[in-house]
Every structure is written in structure tokens, then in C-alpha cells.
Amino acid sequence: MTSQRRVVAEVLDGEHVHLTADEVHARAVAKLPEISRATVYNTLGELVSLGEVLEVATDKRAKRYDPNAHQPHHHLVCARCGAIRDVHPTGNPLADLPDSERFGFTVSDVEVTYRGVCPNCAGG
């Protein structure tokens, strides 16, 4: 493990962060001025492969990186400001997909994104 990778891992440390790659890069630069974007992308890619970090694509702009990979959860996104909260719905959506709706697929994963308006945006 190199100093660059350590810095990227440190940036992602913390529970409720959902940073874009560029935001990760910006924060990494603050700690290690000459780290490059390419290295940040490489390291994020490795962390994702290792299962340490999740990619979330809640908006259609940049992917976000979610360090809370070990507790399964879904996301609630504000349609106005883009704020993201981790949420834990009851029930298991995988169980809600009957065999007749699986078309022979081996279904392994489900991703749920709730959309709405956050109190800040609603209040203003």
C-alpha cells in the first residue's frame, strides 16, 4: 500500500459520505498535493473490486463512492439538491420478484433508490 492509496482510503473514511471521484481527488490533494486524478480513479476502482466501497449512480452526473459497504442499505435522494441519505427499508425486494418475473436470470442483487424532496428544499 502506497501513500497515495492510504490518502484515498482516509478521505472515504466516515459513515455518511457520498463523494464523487473529483471530490475525493480534491480532498486527497489537500493531504498529498501531487496525487493525480488517474491514481484516484485507479484506487477507487480497486476499492470497489475489493468490496470495500460501493459505487452509487443516483444522479446522471458523476458516480459517487459510498464507504458504507458492509451494511446493506439503499438510498434516498433529494430531487432538487441531490442530497443523499442511507436508508434501511423493511422487507426484502428480492423476495418480491416472483420466478415468473425473472425470465431465467440468476438475480443476485437489487438496488433501490427513493426520490423525493428534502426538508431544506421543501421549506425554502
Partner DNA sequence: GATTGACTTGGACTGAGTCCAATGTAGGAT
Partner DNA sequence: ATCCTACATTGGACTCAGTCCAAGTCAATC
Scan for cell 430531487, then name that residue. Answer: 79
Question: Contact with a second copy (CB under 8 A): which of 1, 51, 105, 124?
Answer: 105
Three cell numbers, residue 77? 435522494
Q: How far is the CB of 5 from a second copy (least distance, A)?
A: 23
Measured between alpha carbons, how far is 41 from 68 in angstroms, rounded to an integer? 18
Exposed / middle / buried, residue 58 (Cβ in 10 Å: 0-12, 13-18, 19+): buried
Interface of this chain with DNA, residues 56 to 95, rule: CB under 7 A: 60-63
Question: Is 44 within 8 Å of 56 (Cβ atoms)?
Answer: no
CB under 7 A: which stretch of 14-22, 72-80, 91-99, 112-120 binds DNA?
14-22
Instruction: Enumerate residues 25-44 that contact DNA by CB under 7 A.
Output: 32, 34-39, 41-43
Judged by CB under 7 A, the stretch of 20-28, 83-91, 96-104, 106-114 that binds DNA is 20-28
Please give the Cα distance from 2 to 70 (Å, whole number). 24
Residues that bind DNA (CB under 7 A): 1-5, 20-22, 32, 34-39, 41-43, 45, 60-63
